[in-house]
Chain A
Amino acid sequence: DAKTTQPPSMDCAEGRAANLPCNHSTISGNEYVYWYRQIHSQGPQYIIHGLKNNETNEMASLIITEDRKSSTLILPHATLRDTAVYYCIVSSDRGTSYGKLTFGQGTILTVHP
């Protein structure tokens, strides 16, 4: 599986956009980029995923570079409840590992009033 690199922590002011970067320079084939977040003491929550095109849903936008080696998760108007650990994951597409997610350390996003 391709590995991902994320900054360990980021800060954002409430109401502003939070832009969380992720590098996945060894991504290949049909591997998807997924974003999850985890609020303390809860299970991870799915946010968004994409393959090649930019994606948007009610929670966030995902921008994937043309060479697919990096991506950015955008929370357009961050709130205090968006404070969480954000994980960027590249999904496996090999054999029985199809769809398995391998989590890294993630980025701790702190939203300030």
Chain B
Amino acid sequence: DTGVSQDPRHKITKRGQNVTFRCDPISEHNRLYWYRQTLGQGPEFLTYFQNEAQLEKSRLLSDRFSAERPKGSFSTLEIQRTEQGDSAMYLCASSPPTGRDGYTFGSGTRLTVV
């Protein structure tokens, strides 16, 4: 296992377009998290899955954002009708069942909305 994989690494899109990002967690990790990070700031929590169940969503996750983890394995984060303010690094992380042994983060997807 090579860790948490995110695809694509970079995405440039025009305002108003929809984008989808994929995250493949470490296989034995049942917890999966999405974070967003803007320049100069720490990562901000967006949402969290335990297996296929989405257990928590931040108020940062507007109606234009949706995340899924259909079989409790990979996850997708979709942003509809992108806005320039959506430009950020989107980070995925996974952790084992206890959640207390530290997360493993992916390298992120850098989104630029033009």
Contact = CB atoms under 8 A, between A and B. Distances in A.
A105 B42 CA distance: 5
A85 B55 CA distance: 29
Interface string B88-109: 0001010100111111111110
B48 interface: yes
Contacts of A45: 105
Give the interface residue-count category, chain A: 20 to 34
Contacts of A21: none
A43 B108 contact: yes
A97 B47 CA distance: 10
Contacts of B93: 43-44
Given A100-B33, A100-B48, A106-B42, A43 B99 contact: no
Nearest to B95: A99
User: Quick one: which of A34, A44, A106 has the most chain B CB within 10 A?
Assistant: A44
Given A32-B100, A96-B55, A96-B56, A101 B105 contact: no
Q: Which of A99, A101, A105 has the most CB of B within 10 A?
A: A99
Contact of A87 (B42, B45, B106): B42
Interface in A75-109: 85, 87, 91, 96-106
Nearest to A105: B42
B22 interface: no
B31 A99 contact: yes
Nearest to A43: B105
A59 to B, nearest CB: 11
Interface of A: 32, 34, 42-46, 49, 85, 87, 91, 96-106
Interface of B: 4, 31, 33, 35, 41-45, 48, 55-56, 91, 93, 95, 98-108
Closest 9 CB pairs of A and B: A99-B99, A43-B105, A103-B42, A46-B102, A96-B55, A103-B43, A44-B105, A96-B56, A43-B107
